[in-house]
């Protein structure tokens, strides 16, 4: 059997579509609101969020390992192609961020991988539905709402705004 002359990497390349590409419109609308604070820009953000939910858009979501299963996994013990035993039930929960000014907690809505990596919140990141993130921000007792790109534009969407959004969305 002939071995390949060179190991082929299968990393994400520029030819691979960016699943977060259309989230840039959320970021653009949020930046406009920070500059203008106009009603029309706020309506535009809600329209963009509605559109991304209709498109079943996703965003990178930091997760917390609730029962510490990953704490026992050492990178030096991982072998490519071999199964990993977690040694317990893996339970993940959406990470929250705390506002230093008033102590309120928020679910982050990162618009891109780059925004998510500006200040790492967790070492476990999943692709989550934007609709699910916003819906959890509305329904969870743990948070006051959702914050868009907390280490960038940092625009908060409190539960009242999320309720309005879902009233229009019809879910």
pLDDT at 68: 76
For range 38-60, the mean pLDDT: 95
Q: Which structure tokens are listed for 72?
A: 């026992």
Q: Model pTM greater than 0.85? A: no
41 CB-near residues (< 8 Å, 6+ apart): 29, 32, 33
Range name among 13-22, 114-123, 131-140 with the lowest pLDDT average: 13-22
Distance CA 59, CA 144 (A): 19
Asked if residue 88 has pLDDT above 80, the reply is: no
Give the model's confidence band at 171: pLDDT under 50 very low, under 70 low, under 90 confident, else very high. low
Give the model's confidence band at 79: pLDDT under 50 very low, under 70 low, under 90 confident, else very high. confident
66 CB-near residues (< 8 Å, 6+ apart): 91, 92, 93
Closest by alpha carbon to 168, among 57, 37, 42, 26?
A: 42
For range 97-107, the mean pLDDT: 95
Of all residues in the chain, what percent carry a pLDDT higher than 70? 89
CB 165 within 8 A of CB 46: yes
Asked if residue 3 has pLDDT above 60, the reply is: no
For range 87-110, the mean pLDDT: 91
């Amino acid at each position: 059997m002939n071995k390949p002359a060179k190991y082929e990497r299968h990393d994400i390349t520029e030819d691979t579509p960016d699943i977060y590409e259309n989230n840039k419109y959320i970021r653009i609308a949020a930046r406009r609101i920070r500059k203008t604070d106009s009603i029309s820009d706020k309506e535009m953000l809600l329209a963009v969020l509605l559109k991304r939910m209709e498109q079943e858009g996703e965003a990178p979501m930091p997760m917390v390992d609730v029962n510490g299963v990953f704490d026992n996994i050492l990178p030096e013990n991982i072998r490519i192609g071999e199964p990993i035993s977690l040694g317990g039930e893996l339970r993940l929960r959406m990470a929250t961020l705390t506002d230093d000014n008033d102590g309120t907690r928020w679910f982050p809505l990162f618009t891109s991988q780059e925004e998510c990596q500006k200040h790492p919140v967790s070492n476990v990141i999943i692709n989550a539905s934007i609709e699910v993130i916003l819906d959890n921000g509305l329904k969870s007792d743990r948070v006051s709402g959702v914050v868009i790109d907390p280490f960038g534009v940092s625009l908060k969407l409190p539960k009242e705004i999320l309720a309005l959004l879902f009233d229009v969305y019809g879910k």
